[in-house]
Amino acid sequence: MEVNSGGVQIQRAKVDSSHKYVAYLVFDAKWSAGSLGNSLKLRCSLGIIGLGFYISVSIEVSKRTEMSFMKSNGKSRVEGTKQPVFSSMRRMLSMCMVSALVITRGLTAEPYGNTSFPESRKLNNLSALLLDVVPAPTVESFTFVRPSDGWIFISFTTHAEGTVRLTLDKASPGETAIDFAPGSGPAHEAMHHVTKGRHTLQFERTGTISLKHLTLKAIPELMHCGLGFNPQIKSYGLYDMDFLKRDILPNVTTLIVPNNIKLSDSVIEDWHRQGKRFVAEVGIDSQAKTADEHVTFWTSFFHKAPFIDGIIINEFIVNRPVSEWVQTMTPDRLARMDQERAAYECYSEAFKKIHADSRFANKSIYAYVGGSGKKLNQEIIGTNLIRTIVNCGYFVAPERYLHEMSTEQGSQDALQAFLDGLADWEAKEPGVKKQMVITFGLFSMPPGSINKQPKVDYHVWMDQQMNLVANDPTLANIAGLNWWTSVLADEETVRFVGKLYRHYAIEGKTNRLTSDPLFLRHIQNADFERGTNGWVLHPAENGSIAAKSFPRYGRIEGRYMGLGRPPDPEHIGDTFLWMKRSEKGPNTFSQTIKDLQPGRLYSFKMFVCDYNDLITPKPRRIEEAKSIFTVLIEGADVETARSFTEVYASSPEPKVPVCITYHWKIFRAKTTTATLTVSDWQDPDQPTAPFGQEQAFNFLEIQPYHE
């Protein structure tokens, strides 16, 4: 017999072939997760059912004992006891099932009462499930509790026709209409910031529409840096609202904008109507000498652009202990350190004054903290600044720009150092994680990039960092996430952040988003660090192709190492393939591209410069410095509309900038292999002047492209 009521299925105890009882319950209930009331009901139900089974089994044991006794006395007729015993068992079992069902009916989704609060269920470090219900048709409101101030993500589906209106905390001083994100599709989505405690979500409907499924999650602040920060490689186009609408806008709570940005009223109103925020990036006034002057400077942005909801200050500095990088402490250095300490005390006082001013009660302040120190070295910043930021309810944004490493072990060591550093922050300033917005490095293209290894998939490296934040207990309860900055990021990498936010912070996943390996296998010796190994060379004449190097060339290309952009101890990027153009024919080098997935998209990058600009630098205009070469990928379909070459000037070194050509190509694999060929002629059948020009080629990177 199977009884179903209120989503609970109870199957009667069954007897196996050896006449041993096996009792089991199958619960297919959808109730308010973690509700105390439901937990009590479930326990009561199990108690009653357990009691029923205990009685039934006791009767059966008695029956078997009687049978055994009768057999021992030579009696073979047991029919007189068998039937009444089984009838008793069925009656008792039916009674306990009915009793259990009466109690467990409360386990179905229902309008939340005035006394019970659903508890959250942690999905990972970033996301917690506050509600997950299939509502009854009569449900009009749901109660949830957020354990701290922060953001919520609402998602629901409907069936039938009509409209739905959502109101947060209806008929209270904090009543707020919840607007869905544009283009939410069949799953309507919304984000909103709420205060700590109990809240009610009210649904009002017209027509025959009803809710099919509702989920509500606690999520961190998800910042995008940003709107108005367009790429320095102009061929990627504008990163405007139209570009951001597919992968970024649905997956973020906050847009970081330049402090002088001009936005239309419709853009501002639409973003705010969704419950989301604008934060303006500002600096530190180097001329300000007092706390009041800093207050005037920072709050001026709220007056100039009243629509902004906060400012993010770029930047405060925490370096390694001075003794680690300064051999001799001169009187001048000691005096500068004292001045810096006094400045940080001044900043602390300024934050306190802003916090005390009711005009800015609804404005947020975030503080970027950069520098070479992974741990919270307080010898300069002092013990007051971070504590003041936390006490004021503002946010600290430690910049953690993890560049690609050359080995698996080096990559793991870098991730561990990242963890250890932030654990030190929490140890020295308890509670700082709850006001911390971890800021990773988005910058992945010239002229300043931490995508410095052509043999490493930068998106997998991003994924590994996010996976650590989502899963390692050290990083539980952080306030938010940010990736700085889209000015130095290609369009794919900008969009990829939205995919990471969706996967980890919204969906609450713990597995990696990508399944690709960290170290790429498509091209070998992509920087010619092992000379010409792995490459097939076809020189036009003797001596027209060779592997060479130039000190700090990788740094000149824009491969970033850290604060001050120090020299790379591994000299990554200093090696390249040198070719001298000949009128006798093109110089070419080629290699088979391996391990491709047919039908999948890939990107190809390469850097090229005029070798003489390194040896004998001289000022050149970018439009006159484009390198001459062609790239052919045979056995694949190249998407020419999304492929380009563009020249950029190196910065900040050398003093005379080197003009470098950045080549970007998108292709779709046809089979598991393809052939890459690079030539220094534009046309294999037409000689290309100027003959004798020397060029340097390196950073040939092929990695999966994410649509």
Question: In the prediction, which pLDDT does 594 show?
Answer: 98
Six-digit token string for 378: 């307080």
Q: What CA–CA distance (Å, rounded) separates 522 from 704?
A: 10
The pLDDT confidence band at residue 117, using thresholds 50, 70 and 90, is low
Contact 143, 199 (CB under 8 A): yes
Looking at 1.10.3470, 3.40.50, 2.60.40, 2.60.120, the CATH number of the domain 536-704 comes to 2.60.120
> Is the confidence at residue 186, as pLDDT, over 90?
no
Range of weakest confidence among 34-43, 456-465, 662-671: 34-43
Question: In the prediction, which pLDDT does 624 show?
Answer: 85
Question: In the prediction, which pLDDT does 119 show?
Answer: 73
> Is the confidence at residue 704, as pLDDT, over 80?
yes
Burial of 182 (0-12, 13-18, 19+ CB in 10 A): exposed
> Is the confidence at residue 69, as pLDDT, over 80?
no
The pLDDT > 70 percentage for the chain reads: 82
Contact 35, 64 (CB under 8 A): no
Mean pLDDT confidence for 104-120: 46
What is the tally of helices (H) and strands (E) in the chain?
Answer: 12, 35
Question: In the prediction, which pLDDT does 579 show?
Answer: 98
The pLDDT > 90 percentage for the chain reads: 75
Considering the entire predicted model, what is its pTM?
A: 0.84
> Can you list the alpha helix ranges (DSSP code H) found in 176-261?
241-244
> 587 or 210, which is more confident?
587
Fold annotation for 224-444+470-505: TIM Barrel (3.20.20)
Question: Could you tell me which residues come within 8 angstroms of residue 160 by beta carbon, excluding any fewer than 6 positions away?
Answer: 207, 208, 209, 210
Please give the full DSSP string across 548-571, using - where no structure is assigned: EE-TTHHHHHTB--STT-PPPTT-
3-state secondary structure of 467: helix
Name residue, tokens 């390996």.
Answer: 517
The pLDDT confidence band at residue 101, using thresholds 50, 70 and 90, is very low
What Rg, from alpha-carbon coordinates, does the chain have? 33
Say how many Å lie between the first and final Cα of the chain, rounded: 52
- At what angle are helices 458-471 and 408-428 packed, to 10 degrees? 40
Contact 219, 506 (CB under 8 A): yes
> Can you list the alpha helix ranges (DSSP code H) found in 200-311?
241-244, 265-273, 291-304
Per-residue buried b or exposed e for 30-69, using 16+ beta carbons within 10 Å of the residue's own CB: bbbeebebbeebbeebeebbeebbebbeebbeebeeeeee
Architecture category of domain 121-219 in CATH: Sandwich (2.60)
> Is the confidence at residue 37, as pLDDT, over 80?
no
Six-digit token string for 677: 């060929």
Q: What CA–CA distance (Å, rounded) separates 52 from 58?
A: 10
Q: What CA–CA distance (Å, rounded) separates 329 from 233?
A: 42
The pLDDT confidence band at residue 360, using thresholds 50, 70 and 90, is very high
Question: In the prediction, which pLDDT does 419 show?
Answer: 98
> 592 or 53, which is more confident?
592
Question: In the prediction, which pLDDT does 149 show?
Answer: 97
The pLDDT confidence band at residue 106, using thresholds 50, 70 and 90, is very low
> Can you list the alpha helix ranges (DSSP code H) found in 277-382?
291-304, 331-356
> Is the confidence at residue 93, as pLDDT, over 70?
no
Range of weakest confidence among 17-31, 297-311, 342-356, 409-423: 17-31
Six-digit token string for 578: 């040198």
> Is the confidence at residue 565, as pLDDT, over 70?
no
> Is the confidence at residue 62, as pLDDT, over 50?
no
Question: In the prediction, which pLDDT does 328 show?
Answer: 86
The 10s digit of each residue's pLDDT in 588-629 is 999 999 999 999 999 999 999 999 999 999 999 998 898 999
> Is the confidence at residue 298, as pLDDT, over 70?
yes
The total of other beta-carbon atoms located within 10 Å of residue 408's CB is: 11
> 19 or 574, which is more confident?
574
> Can you list the alpha helix ranges (DSSP code H) found in 472-515?
491-500
Read off the amino acid at residue 13: A
Q: Is 599 left (phi over 0), alpha (psi -120 to 50) or beta?
A: left
Mean pLDDT confidence for 115-124: 75
Q: What is the mean pLDDT of the chain?
A: 86
Mean pLDDT confidence for 297-302: 98
Range of weakest confidence among 68-77, 406-415, 545-554, 589-598: 68-77
> Is the confidence at residue 331, as pLDDT, over 50?
yes
Name residue, tokens 């009711």.
Answer: 358
> Is the confidence at residue 30, as pLDDT, over 50?
no
Domain ranges (residues) in the chain:
2-107, 121-219, 224-444+470-505, 536-704
> Is the confidence at residue 17, as pLDDT, over 80?
no
Prior bond of 567 cis (ω within 30°):
no
Six-digit token string for 707: 């649509």
Domain pair 121-219 / 536-704, same fold: yes
> Is the confidence at residue 267, as pLDDT, over 60?
yes
Six-digit token string for 420: 């250890």
Q: What CA–CA distance (Å, rounded) separates 29 from 13?
A: 20
Q: Is the dihedral of CA 424, 428, 434, 440 positive or negative?
A: negative
The 10s digit of each residue's pLDDT in 469-525 is 999 999 999 999 999 999 999 999 999 999 999 999 999 999 999 999 999 999 999
The 10s digit of each residue's pLDDT in 124-183 is 999 999 999 998 888 889 999 999 999 999 999 999 999 999 999 999 999 999 998 876
> Is the confidence at residue 71, as pLDDT, over 60?
no
